[in-house]
Structure 1
């Protein structure tokens, strides 16, 4: 774990911080997806995660001042990887690490300001984009989520399963238009997950230097 944190910190320090990175130290909490399955998260300047045949989500609300952000950048590291999977297959879509962006229509955002992640995921007005490191898909491929109501969520493949350290920069508005059509509403939530339960494998990963723009 120390090696993983050191690698993530090195990426963070090497990247410009002019956009103001979002801290993982405060406001994040884990949401279990199974009573008997949970990842181990360490929160701080970076978020580090170990997943051992398990799955869960760490999430946070986005400050109202950032609801209109339309781009994001971050760095991430994978030290131990799940095998390649098909991210469109329900029950067979393990991935190393995903970063979620949760949007709702601007006119309903104030009423959902205190909603938890389960309430948001169960709301048919919510749209979710998750950028994934895992699977065997080409970079930028938009994959309909096999979970939840049709048309509510997509996975955008960024990195195939494997280890390493990378920096990412995404255009949320352009990707939203490709995934759902139209313009995104208010960005009200962020989440990070690791998923290794279907392949009964292990993940060691970290994410840092997350900035909205």
Structure 2
């Protein structure tokens, strides 16, 4: 649910990728079996990939984009663009393994971390959003 959020941004550009809400799924690749469950260690090691579902940006729902971080190991999938309605709850579903395969062209590794973020520093804006009833199976 978005109560207030930054306007449309280019999620592929460092320094311009603000968004209302994002949910990250971090996967260790085969070389990352010993990366543990520390998200920052996985990212520093270069042994994994990040799939981010995003509410924000200027692209259309369903668009897959390369993230400007993680040295090419990150992709975002737009769930709702920045101009989506505010003040109402939306139910969202995602087929994480299938989405990962579409985004990266390979099967995901082992899921090691989930993170939630909001970002408004580049535009100097303000976000107010909520996430409820997150289930991962």
Please indicate, yes or no, whether the TM-score normalized by the shorter chain is above 0.5. yes
2:119 aligns with: 195
Q: Does 1:176 align with 2:100?
A: yes
Moved more, 138-147 or 98-107: 98-107
| CA deviation profile, 1:96-119 (whole Å, cap 9, x unmatched) | 00000000125733x22252x321
Alignment of 1:64-143 (within 5 A): 77-105=1-29, 108-109=32-33, 111-115=34-38, 117-143=39-65
Q: Does 1:153 align with 2:74?
A: yes
Q: CA RMSD, aligned part only?
A: 1.4
For 2:31 and 2:5, how far apart are their aligned partners in 1? 40
2:89 aligns with: 165
For 1:112 and 1:201, how far apart are their aligned partners in 2? 35
For 2:97 and 2:62, how far apart are their aligned partners in 1? 14
Instruction: Give the alignment's TM-score, normalised by structure 2.
Output: 0.91
1:42 aligns with: none
Contact 2:120 / 2:126 at 8 angstroms: preserved in 1?
Answer: yes
Number of residues of Structure 1 aligned to a counterpart in Structure 2: 134
What are structure 2's unaligned runs of at least 5 residues? none
